[in-house]
Structure 1
Amino acid sequence: MLFGRKKDPEGDVDHVADVHNGAAAPPPLATPGRSFWSAIVPVIACGAGLFSDGYINNVIGSVVTILALEYDDVWATSTAKKYVGAIAFAGTVVGQLFFGYLSDHWSRTNSLLVSTVILIIFTALAAGSYYKGDTVGMFNILTAWRFFVGIGIGGEYPAGSVGAAESTGELKSGSRNMWFIMFTNTMIDWGFVIGAFVPYVVAAACHNGYLSTIWRTSLGIGVVFPLVLLVMRAFLKEPEEFQRNSMKYSKTPYMLVLRFYGFRLFVVSLIWFIYDFSAYSFGIYSSTILANIYDKSAPLTTIFGWNTVLNLFYIPGTMLGAPLSDLIGPRYALALGVTLQAVVGFIMAGLYPRLAQPSMVGAFTVVYGIFLTLGELGPGNNIGLIAAKTCATGVRGQYYGIAAAVGKIGAFVGTYVFPYIIAAGGDSEEKSAQYPFYVSSSLCILSAVLVVFLLPHIGQDTIEYEDARFRVFLEANGYDTRQLGLKKGESLEGVESAGEKVGEVDKKSG
């Protein structure tokens, strides 16, 4: 699997061809004369649903804060306290795996529609959670609905991101990575910001009272965006690359897929695992900053306002980093981001005793903001892009879904491991805060090494060339690649007959 790089006639695109097996270049996807807006709309419709992921996952933090104030001891002693915030992650893993399979073997667009409907229904049910007037029962119902919300979010990853990656092939070469990022990870980050800002606005409108109204309204607003997307997605067509190379009506040769992509999938999944695993420790600094700004008696508007400010630090990294991924490539953009983030993380850990003082809260916030920005510029922007473009179309949904699910599992593992790392600091508050960031910064360096040395170059047309490489491999191992792209009702015999007729016409015309 050796990769060579060739410049296209325009001189601005790195084509990725397998010089070892001579994979032929496929015809370009971009339709001549097609307007920018007609090409970008499918990318928006496929990818922008991840806004809901950011919003729904972030707004629950504000909801939990309100539930603790509203129900006090009942909430504190409820088992739901442990699960309401995190249960959506479990649902997301299920959704990523299930819809990864569904998007490959059924339909990209139909899978998106189903996941959007699930998201709308269960977000609305979560906002209206009720159980016969029983508070604990209501907590349990809210937890159950949040699990199903997670399944809907999980569907956005393989079906949405993969569809967005394939649709970028219709855009002008040289900006495809940027537009993919702008309507996937950037959407997640804006979802985080709005998920923090909406509770602030609602709390201000309610004058920090009517707590049930605040949290139910904040959750309910999460229905609006997927409703808009549902309308857009109803008119989506399958990406052209999926129509060419899908395995929906053929048998998937999983053993061959594992031979060809097994190691690469392991590396991509490991990088995603490390990213989500390490991200857990970042909240330590956020808590420190907020604790130095206000006390426990602060009004909700103060808490939610500062939470919005902290989440805004994600935006410069993702928006400035998006064009960087076209300029230097996703691999190097990811490696640059995690390397710089590791440097800042080591500095923050070393200077923690000074930065953690209330008088230094401004400096601490700025340095922490740089840290978050670099995280988005690197792995935040590029890990999903790498997962979407380093695999052939026929199994891309499952490949992406597995990698994303392993990432979420990394977050789960982090929640259990980091308390032990913190405890290793003993009675020293400084060491307890420093140790997690020594670990996280070291893992950032590991991620950089993995992505630079163990993953291939990713150019503007990698998706098409990956399909060409995979076809050559399948044919070399006895798989009939005429099965790829078969439509409903078609058979190999029909394809062969059509090919013979075309050949006869060519002979006569010659």
Structure 2
Amino acid sequence: MDYDRVTQIRAKAFAHLDEAQFGWFHLRAILVSGVGFYTDSYDNFVINLALPMLYHVYFPKSPDLQYPSDFPQRNPNYDAWMKAATSYGNLFGQLSFGYLGDKLGRKNMYGVELMIMIVCTIGSAFSASAIRGANILQTLAVWRFFLGIGIGGDYPLSAIITSEFANVKWRGTMIAAVFAMQGIGILTGGLVTLATLAALQNSIRSDPAYLDLVWRIILAFGVIPAMGAVYFRLTIPETPRYTVDVIGSVDQAERDVEKVMALNATRDVSSNWVGEEVANGTRANVKKGGFWAHFGQWKNGKILFGCAFTWFALDVAWYGLSLNASTILTLINWNGSNSLPPYDNYWQKTVGQVIIACMGTVPGYWVCVALIDRMGRKPIQYLGFAVITVCLLILAIAWDTIKNNTVAFCVVFTIAQFFFQFGPNTTTFVVPGEVFPTRFRSTAHGMSAAMGKLGAIIGVEAVGPFFSMNPKAVLYVFTVVMALGGVATYFIPETMGKTLEALSGEDDAFESQETIL
């Protein structure tokens, strides 16, 4: 084998990707990955709007259904388990799809997770109690768990595919733009709920049992964007970096890069990939295995620790707050009174969540998209953790006063939501897609994301049930965890302006391995 030629072809192919102008293929990659993430976030967070209506109908406080159910107050652990069911699936999906993305290839797994989501979204919307055995909550929880597997699988695959096709200049922006669709998904959940409530207003006012139809519609809506993205995901090409560094086909990667460059210049984001996907040719020597040997070295292990722990810390508070938004709005008396008619009660709470999304959540994502390749990942993450820590500390210290001042609470809470997105919620997704070697990149991203979902489970299931009973204690816990996340940011490198190979040391490893052989 002519190793000099292999090195030259590999370096040339990657240089074309790294130095390419932002073009139509890049835009297509963002849209294909972003639509999936839009669906992920919609499905993940709409449960916060759906569950109160389900409880209202199936576990009523009064036979006439005129008052919101007190089921969450009577069964806080059950409520938390329902909200965390998807996170359990996320954890499993992130680990399994992360590993399979490295083992079988990015392309071979991409689209599978969306098909899982489509089936399980439909199943969730048609959940019902059995005559004997599982009740509707248990049935829904099972569907939500498997839905979570599909959602979890999307995290490493979307991040890695976007990262490995991106150029250096816009890589952070591209990955962050994919993740920013999470904010649009959260906002859409509120808007779909408002539209469904408005469409069924007269029916709900005359018979609150029509809320059963509302929560089913808002869950089922998640299938629409997922179906629209399946074809494009199944036809996306394998990344040239995986083709070289894992499969070992250098000539194939060179041809693939040429096709990517051609599609990038085609003013059509729907242009399809054509040509032979697998071909014989010059083969690179591929380094196999060695995951634990690689990360057993502190210089590499500390990066995996930093990515995993910061994501864990973030999700403890992020999911703990986001999936308990209805509880928070009730605690600050946003809905006025639980004595409001059912329609007005749910309309008011949904409007509150839409306002929070518009004021803090969605803008935070897109400000991060605009600045991540100018400020860098670490400064944004440090800033985000610091501001969130201060905001949560203010809420904890002043809770007895601020809970009765809706405007003051919304200002502080909105600032915190803004810096969640213009901060660690975005950067913890971006950095793991950049810092690991190609052969471990999907696995390590999946592990980092899974640690995040472990944090989400703790935030929702272990801490969340105490929100109604002792919100100050919960806020103090979240404050400490956010501060620890800021400290752990020290262990991740700054990735702005660097190639993936420079960050992972793959160029040096590739050349030294060829020298030995």
Given the alignment of the two structures, is residue 72 of structure 1 paired with residue 59 of structure 2, yes or no?
Answer: yes
Kindly state the Cα deviation for residue 222 of structure 1 after the two structures are TM-superposed.
Answer: 0.5
Contact 1:80 1:140 in 2 (8 A): no
Contact 1:289 1:365 in 2 (8 A): no
CA RMSD of aligned residues (A): 3.1
Kindly state the Cα deviation for residue 274 of structure 1 after the two structures are TM-superposed.
Answer: 0.8
- In the other structure, the counterpart of 2:293 is 256
Overall identity of the aligned pairs, in %: 24
Kindly state the Cα deviation for residue 322 of structure 1 after the two structures are TM-superposed.
Answer: 1.7
Contact 2:393 2:479 in 1 (8 A): yes
Deviations 1:256-278 (A, max 9, x none): 32234322211211111111123
Counterpart residue type for residue 342 of structure 1: T
Q: How does 1:95-494 map to 2 (within 5 A)?
A: 95-130=93-128, 136-169=134-167, 173-184=168-179, 186-207=180-201, 208=204, 209=208, 210-246=210-246, 251-260=288-297, 261-282=300-321, 287-291=327-331, 292-294=333-335, 295-298=337-340, 299=343, 300-312=346-358, 313-357=360-404, 360-415=405-460, 417-418=462-463, 432-451=470-489, 453-467=490-504, 469-470=505-506, 472-473=508-509
2-structure distance, mates of 1:196, 1:412: 23
2-structure distance, mates of 1:472, 1:31: 17
Residues 87 and 418 of structure 1: CA distance in aligned 2, closer, same or farther (over 3 Å) = closer
1-structure distance, mates of 2:174, 2:20: 19
2-structure distance, mates of 1:434, 1:80: 22
2-structure distance, mates of 1:220, 1:280: 22
Counterpart residue type for residue 110 of structure 1: N
Ranges in structure 2 where 5+ consecutive residues have no aligned partner: 1-10, 62-68, 249-285
2-structure distance, mates of 1:215, 1:142: 12
2-structure distance, mates of 1:318, 1:394: 29
Q: How does 1:33-44 map to 2 (within 5 A)?
A: 36-44=23-31
Q: Report the secondary structure of 2:139's partner residue.
A: helix
Q: Report the secondary structure of 2:494's partner residue.
A: coil
Residues 456 and 390 of structure 1: CA distance in aligned 2, closer, same or farther (over 3 Å) = same
Contact 1:105 1:247 in 2 (8 A): no
Contact 2:88 2:148 in 1 (8 A): yes
Kindly state the Cα deviation for residue 448 of structure 1 after the two structures are TM-superposed.
Answer: 2.4
Kindly state the Cα deviation for residue 85 of structure 1 after the two structures are TM-superposed.
Answer: 2.3
Contact 1:43 1:168 in 2 (8 A): no
Q: Report the secondary structure of 1:293's partner residue.
A: coil
Deviations 1:126-149 (A, max 9, x none): 112245567954433222111110
Contact 1:40 1:168 in 2 (8 A): no
Name the stretch that deviates more: 259-268 or 326-335.
259-268
TM-score normalised per structure 1: 0.79
Residues 480 and 35 of structure 1: CA distance in aligned 2, closer, same or farther (over 3 Å) = closer
1-structure distance, mates of 2:20, 2:328: 54
Kindly state the Cα deviation for residue 160 of structure 1 after the two structures are TM-superposed.
Answer: 1.4
Contact 1:272 1:403 in 2 (8 A): yes
Contact 2:36 2:226 in 1 (8 A): yes
Contact 1:47 1:156 in 2 (8 A): no
- In the other structure, the counterpart of 1:3 is none
TM-score normalised per structure 2: 0.78
Kindly state the Cα deviation for residue 168 of structure 1 after the two structures are TM-superposed.
Answer: 1.7
- In the other structure, the counterpart of 1:30 is 17
Q: Report the secondary structure of 1:297's partner residue.
A: coil
1-structure distance, mates of 2:150, 2:464: 30
Contact 1:158 1:401 in 2 (8 A): yes
Contact 2:325 2:353 in 1 (8 A): no
Counterpart residue type for residue 474 of structure 2: P
